[in-house]
A and B are shown apart, each in its own frame.
Chain A
Amino acid sequence: QKEVEQNSGPLSVPEGAIASLNCTYSDRGSQSFFWYRQYSGKSPELIMSIYSNGDKEDGRFTAQLNKASQYVSLLIRDSQPSDSATYLCAVNRGGGGNKLTFGTGTQLKVEL
């Protein structure tokens, strides 16, 4: 079992729709969770972090965390073509070093 799992996609949604991106993780002791967006050929950029169960909203983005189910998701409302990218889920398992483990990413395509 991979430590952080994401569906590779592509996930296609029409412009203006809600895109839902999912991520599961294997280490129940994981403490903090991050969503990064990566455009083709570019490095990741931080979208959101979430540390406690529930929802966290920032503009069009909502991160949801359920530690009991070891599940974290990202919702993108009013999807725009510029949201088309690969979304990486990253998990900090805690302990020394605060290292992140990344999923393989979900490719999102927002279609006109």
Chain B
Amino acid sequence: GAVVSQHPSRVICKSGTSVKIECRSLDFQATTMFWYRQFPKKSLMLMATSNEGSKATYEQGVEKDKFLINHASLTLSTLTVTSAHPEDSSFYICSARSQGGETQYFGPGTRLLVL
């Protein structure tokens, strides 16, 4: 149980384009999903928390207009990186938590490369 998927696993795009990443909880209802970013040899940095049906809460320093998050259902959250630039290249990882649960289960991650 507690399986989280992400799609795509890897994406290469040109500077200025937008990229959408999907995060799905496959066998449980995720009332809360989290989006992280990880640079090489660094730890996970929380970008935002999304609760189903409400607006995401962004961490300090994360631009909400650049990183659009939608959590429209209990099994799906999306992160859209708008007008991507090379400095946005990173490993983006989502996690999901069920209602009342404390454990976060991570998706396999999406590696974004912006040229």
B43 touches A49 (CB 8 A): no
A99 touches B49 (CB 8 A): yes
Mostly, the A contact residues are: strand
B89 in contact (CB, < 8 A):
no
B106 touches A32 (CB 8 A): no
Interface of chain A residues 63 through 111 with chain B (CB within 8 A):
88, 92, 97-105
A42 touches B44 (CB 8 A): no
Which residue of A has the minimal Cβ distance to B92?
A: A43
Among B14-22, B63-71, B96-104, the stretch in contact with A: B96-104
Chain A residues with CB below 8 A from B97, complex form: 98
B108 touches A103 (CB 8 A): no
Task: State in angstroms the CA–CA spacing of A101 and B42 once bound together.
Answer: 13
Chain A residues with CB below 8 A from B102, complex form: 32, 49, 92, 98
B57 in contact (CB, < 8 A):
yes
Mask for B36-73, Cβ within 8 A of A = 1, else 0?
Answer: 00000011101001000000010000000000000000
Task: State in angstroms the CA–CA spacing of A98 and B31 once bound together.
Answer: 12
Q: State which size class the interface on A falls in.
A: 20 to 34
A46 in contact (CB, < 8 A):
yes
* Contact of B104 (CB < 8 Å), options: A42, A100, A103, A104: A100
A44 in contact (CB, < 8 A):
yes
B49 touches A88 (CB 8 A): no
* Contact of B42 (CB < 8 Å), options: A46, A97, A104: A104
Which residue of A has the minimal Cβ distance to B106?
A: A43
Chain A residues with CB below 8 A from B104, complex form: 34, 46, 100
A102 touches B44 (CB 8 A): yes
Chain B residues with CB below 8 A from A44, complex form: 44, 93, 106
* Distance in Å: Cβ of B12 to nearest Cβ of chain A: 16
Chain B residues with CB below 8 A from A42, complex form: 108-109
A45 in contact (CB, < 8 A):
yes
Known A-B contacts A43-B108, A43-B109, A99-B34; the reply to A49 vs B46 at CB < 8 A is: no
